[in-house]
Structure 1
Amino acid sequence: MRTALATLPADPDRENEDFAAAAPGAAVLLDGAGVGGAETGCTHGVAWFSSTLGALLLRSITAHPVRPLAECLADSIGLVRSLHEGTCDLAYRASPTSTVVAARVGAGALEYLVLGDSSLLLADQDGGTTVVTDRRLDEVGKRLRGPVDALPTGSPEHAAALAEYRDALTGLRNRPGGFWIAGPDPRAAEHALTGTVPLESLASVTLLSDGATRLVDRFELSDWEKTLAVLDSSGPDELIRSVREAEDGDPDGRRWPRGKARDDATVLHWVLS
């Protein structure tokens, strides 16, 4: 098994809120939910939350190889909560959150978990691909983001509309009819997408934050088969470079309306064969 990892912050002067790591037979990727500098109630910040949760989750899924991934995630969320509930306001509605993707090999199968809008790309031995993405946030977002997409990215009007959009999203977080994401409440893990795939059928497994999937699911400049070809031939760095090239060619979001001109982008490509 071989693993290649690349990550790049949206802005070199800002903290990367993505986190990814791998251990023998396991990998995790988290995309911290930034709030554009708004108050979160947490003194540690979003990057601390995603990296701390990611490290604890990787430890849990490797230390307890037969325990379901959702239970490992719930335990890890509880541990993170215990680390900062004495210093931070975890009841604050904008408390830091994170997407989660986890994968683990065991008993002839790959077990996976996806929570939030990061993605898992499964490549089979015949070159076909299957993508697992939690679309609940996207479905909620489509109902709310019209005013954001109508304005040039980075303009004052866009910033104001984006703040209203994020505030509306926060009100739908971790509740029926909304979407689910890792935050202060371990019960969010119960709503993750989970499954298993026979290990013998797989050639590779790739974990991607939504900043790295933009070429496919937002810009529509590529598809998953082409993305896999880039990863296999040139690695995650080349995929992220292509994302940045597209973003920089449309800095105002005229061609591809979006909340952020650039986003943190992380790819963990795990070749099994």
Structure 2
Amino acid sequence: MRVTLDSLPAEPGRENEDFAAAAPRAAVLLDGAGVAKAETGCTHGVAWFSATLGGLLLSTITAHPARSLAACLADAIGAVRSLHEDACDLVHRASPTSTVVAVRAGADALEYLVLGDSSLLLADKGTGATVVTDRRLDDVGRRLRGPVDTLPTGSLEHAAALAEYREALTGLRNKPGGFWIAGPDPRAAEHALTGTVELGSLSSVTLLSDGATRLVDRFELTTWQGTVAVLDSSGPSELIRRVREAEAGDPDGRRWPRGKAHDDATALHWALTQPL
């Protein structure tokens, strides 16, 4: 397998809450969500949560190839919980959470799991590309965003509206009618999108945080096929550079309303150009 990976924090010097890693025939990407440590009840913070969960998940899915990805995710969530439940308040409504994308290649098929609004981009050996994204958070967000998308990004008014929006989202996290994301409760894994794809039909597999998909799903400056072309020719670093370039051209969110002018952006591109 040939894997290329790049990840940038939202701003230089800020902690990156994304995590991505690969092992032979498997890969994971997580995008952590939360607020300052003092406001979550967790002394470790969001970046610790996403990195710890990601590392344990990758270990679990490679060590137990017969166990489903959802079961492996539940195991990993439980393991992370055991690491800090004695020191942290895991019933706090703002306890750290994370999206999850995981893939594992078997003899003939690629298994996948997607939970939260990160994306899995599957390129076939023709010219097509299919994206798997959990849209439940987007669906909830559209009902709640209100003035977030009408106020200049970075303004005091926008910050207040964004805080109110995030508080409303927290109330719908991991609840029927809301959205599902990895947090303290292993049962969230039961609600992940899962499936399999014939491995021989694919030319590449890419795991993307929502900060790296903005060129397509937020800015509409390219297509998924165009994204694959950039990844194949120039790799994840070029994709993220183009995202940052677009963001810099619209710092106030006037053209493209969004919660944050910049977001952590991560892309892991797995080219299936050699026999597995």
**Shared fold (TM-score greater than 0.5)?**
yes
Amino acid at match of 1:56: L
Amino acid at match of 1:39: E
CA distance, structure 1, for counterparts of residue 85 and residue 35 of structure 2:
20
Q: CA deviation at 1:12?
A: 1.2
Name the counterpart of 1:166: 166
CA distance, structure 2, for counterparts of residue 58 and residue 40 of structure 1:
25
Name the counterpart of 1:245: 245
Name the counterpart of 1:53: 53
Amino acid at match of 1:12: P
* Contact 2:212/2:265 (8 A) holds in 1: yes
Q: Helix, strand or coil: the match of 2:159?
A: helix
Question: Superposition pairs for residues 14-25 of structure 1, below 5 Å?
Answer: 14-25=14-25
Q: CA deviation at 1:131?
A: 0.3
Name the counterpart of 1:228: 228
CA distance, structure 2, for counterparts of residue 22 and residue 152 of structure 1:
38
Q: CA deviation at 1:147?
A: 1.1
Name the counterpart of 2:73: 73
Provide TM-score, normalisation by structure 1. 0.99
Name the counterpart of 2:271: 271
* Contact 2:205/2:271 (8 A) holds in 1: yes
Name the counterpart of 1:195: 195
Name the counterpart of 2:93: 93
2:189 is aligned with 1:213? no
Q: Helix, strand or coil: the match of 2:212?
A: coil
Amino acid at match of 1:50: S
Give the number of equivalent residue pairs. Answer: 273
Name the counterpart of 2:154: 154
| Deviation >6 Å, runs of 4+ | none
2:102 is aligned with 1:102? yes
* Contact 2:113/2:195 (8 A) holds in 1: yes
Name the counterpart of 1:26: 26
Q: CA deviation at 1:140?
A: 0.2
Query: For structure 2, which runs of at least 5 residues remain unmatched after alignment?
Result: none
Q: CA deviation at 1:272?
A: 1.1
Amino acid at match of 2:31: D
Once the two structures are superposed, what CA deviation does each residue of 1:86-106 show, in whole Å capped at 9, x if it has no partner? 000000000000000000001
CA distance, structure 2, for counterparts of residue 37 and residue 82 of structure 1:
19
Amino acid at match of 1:109: A
Once the two structures are superposed, what CA deviation does each residue of 1:62-120 show, in whole Å capped at 9, x if it has no partner? 00011100000000000000000000000000000000000000131000000000000
Name the counterpart of 2:40: 40
Instruction: Out of 76-85 and 27-36, give the one that drifted further.
Output: 27-36
CA distance, structure 1, for counterparts of residue 200 and residue 14 of structure 2:
41
Provide TM-score, normalisation by structure 2. 0.98
Name the counterpart of 1:84: 84
* Contact 1:18/1:32 (8 A) holds in 2: yes
Name the counterpart of 1:180: 180
Q: CA deviation at 1:53?
A: 0.0
* Contact 1:17/1:34 (8 A) holds in 2: no
Q: Helix, strand or coil: the match of 2:100?
A: strand
Q: Helix, strand or coil: the match of 1:184?
A: coil
Q: Helix, strand or coil: the match of 1:268?
A: strand
CA distance, structure 1, for counterparts of residue 6 and residue 99 of structure 2:
18
CA distance, structure 2, for counterparts of residue 185 and residue 135 of structure 1:
20
CA separation of 1:99/1:261 partners in 2, compared to 1, >3 Å: closer, same or farther? Answer: same
CA distance, structure 1, for counterparts of residue 207 and residue 27 of structure 2:
8
Query: For structure 1, which runs of at least 5 residues remain unmatched after alignment?
Result: none
* Contact 2:162/2:259 (8 A) holds in 1: yes
